[in-house]
Amino acid sequence: MANLTIPINVRHVRAFTDNYIWLIESPAAPERLVAVDPGDAAPVLEELRRSGASLAAILLTHHHPDHIGGVAGLLEHGAVPVIGPDDARIALRTRTVRDAERCNLADLGLTFDILAVPGHTLSHIAFCGHDALFSGDTLFSAGCGRMFEGTAPQMNASLDRLRALPPQTRLFCGHEYTAANLRFALAVEPDNESALEHLAVVERLRSSGLPSLPSRLGLELRINPFLRCDDPQIIAAACAHVGAKLDGPAAVFGALRAWKDNFK
Ligand SMILES: [Zn+2]
């Protein structure tokens, strides 16, 4: 039985303009990689060629093309398990995982707890294990995904589940949106010292061509307004923005999400 607490090495490749495809090294055999949300096969194949590694499995958080579009191309080079949520829009899935299930890739020494996190899409899941969270487009560093299919109460409840994970959890999300998210976070909370400091760190990393990720959940609890919809300061900012009293965290979340949707 794989031990959830064994740390993992995670590589990244970029796809499209701002997607990350995470490549998890098997603790049992580091030359065997598990790809998370391969929206494009080409950069993954290039990394496999470059490093002499092989693909051992594919994990999918949700059905959007920029997260699953590379699956067919990867499978042309050999069959591997394709593990994802119960959604007919993910046609190449070979194994379905559901909320509260433990996804065990025993031969790779990897185990992930599955969390259903509806909101961005209705069947969106997150993979959590080895002090790492693969959150797809649900939780971003300093932000969260747009609500394409779910409701504000659903998405807020999903983020509640993620914020309850241990603070040392490393956050691997689907996109490099951190700097723009921090600018919005600072519009909500102009005096948030942690967000100000982190924006300087992120701008340095980005100007050197480095990813701002992974983040850590403990940091996200300080810089991400969407994880603190029950915080008096966030509530006050959201109420001031809409010019009305907002009743409860889901309403605050909905107001923040709509604010961000129109934020330039
Ligand atoms: Zn998406």
Q: What is the mean pLDDT of residues 79-87?
A: 98
Catalytic residues: 62, 64, 66-67, 120, 137, 175
Q: What is the mean pLDDT of residues 31-57?
A: 98
**In this structure, which residues have their CB less than 5 angstroms from ion ligand 1?**
64, 137
pLDDT of residue 3: 61
Quick: pLDDT tens for 177-196. Answer: 999 999 999 999 999 999 99
CA 243–ligand 1 middle distance (angstroms): 31
Residue 237 confidence (pLDDT) above 50: yes
Return the HEC string of the chain. Answer: CCCCCCCCCEEEEEECCCEEEEEEECCCCCCEEEEECCCCHHHHHHHHHHHCCEEEEEECCCCCHHHHCCHHHHHCCCCCCEEECCCCCCCCCCEECCCCCEEEEHHHCEEEEEEECCCCCCCCEEEEECCEEEEECCEECCEECCCCCCCHHHHHHHHHHHHCCCCCCEEEECECCHHHHHHHHHHHCCCCHHHHHHHHHHHHHHHCCCCCCCEEHHHHHHHCHHHCCCCHHHHHHHHHHHCCCCCCHHHHHHHHHHHHHCCC
CA 108–ligand 1 middle distance (angstroms): 27
Quick: pLDDT tens for 192-227. Answer: 999 999 999 999 999 999 999 999 999 999 999 999
CA 245–ligand 1 middle distance (angstroms): 31
CA 136–ligand 1 middle distance (angstroms): 7
